[in-house]
């Protein structure tokens, strides 16, 4: 084993792997770890960049608090199989009036492209769960409820 391999091995031992590490790569210069929060940020950026997606589904308050403490929201699920490939689920709120299948397909493509290009991790599937539709142009009703918001069923 050459000196750079020894240094990389020592560094790998010094940086403990956590359950939140999705990908770990060792080079002669050291260890590179990609945390699931990084992937969540890539997923959020890709999904929100698709026309027709208004926001992630879920409680804005809870998701905001989760973001403050450094974890991704309940609206994103990342599962890694034994081969290191990912299956991703993302829960979304779409704009009322869009073609749901077209927007969902665009989200799947955008998420796969973003994660694979940025993190170098193969994505085998992206499950898009449309939990709500909202009409951002609808006037707000008394009590602060949006007239155009349709609450999730069940």
Please give the pLDDT value at position 58: 80
User: In Å, what is the CA distance from 83 to each residue of 19, 87, 97, 118, 121?
Assistant: 16, 12, 39, 19, 11
What are the chain's domains? 35-144 (3.30.70.1350)
pTM of the model: 0.72
pLDDT digits over 39-51, tens only?
A: 999 999 999 999 9
pLDDT digits over 38-96, tens only?
A: 999 999 999 999 999 999 998 555 545 544 444 456 899 999 999 989 999 999 999 99
User: If you average pLDDT over every residue of the chain, what do you get?
Assistant: 79
Q: Where in 76-154 does DSSP place strands (E)?
A: 76-80, 86-95, 123-134
Please give the pLDDT value at position 59: 56
Mean pLDDT comparison of 3-7, 44-48, 135-139, highest-scoring range? 44-48
Lowest mean pLDDT among 43-52, 67-76, 114-123, 131-140: 67-76
Cβ-count burial of 66 within 10 angstroms (0-12 exposed, 13-18 middle, 19+ buried)?
middle
CA distance 65 to 71: 9
Structure tokens at 119: 């993190």
Give strand pairing partners of 53.
Answer: 94
CA distance 26 to 5: 9
Please give the pLDDT value at position 92: 96
Query: Strand 30-35 and strand 53-56: pairing?
Result: unpaired
Please give the pLDDT value at position 22: 83
């Amino acid at each position: 084993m050459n000196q750079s391999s020894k240094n990389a091995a020592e560094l790998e031992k010094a940086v403990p792997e956590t359950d939140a590490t999705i990908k770990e790569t060792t080079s002669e210069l050291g260890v590179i770890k990609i945390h699931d929060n990084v992937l969540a940020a890539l997923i959020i950026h890709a999904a929100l960049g698709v026309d027709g997606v208004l926001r992630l589904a879920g409680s804005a308050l809870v998701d905001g608090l989760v973001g403050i403490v450094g974890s991704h929201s309940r609206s994103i699920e990342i599962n890694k199989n034994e081969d290191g490939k990912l299956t991703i689920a993302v829960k979304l709120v779409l704009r009322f009036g869009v073609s749901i299948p077209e927007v969902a397909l665009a989200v799947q493509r955008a998420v796969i492209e973003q994660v694979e290009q940025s993190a170098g991790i193969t994505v085998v599937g992206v499950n898009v769960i449309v939990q709500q539709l909202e009409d951002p142009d609808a006037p707000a009703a008394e009590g602060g409820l949006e007239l155009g918001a349709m609450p999730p069923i069940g």
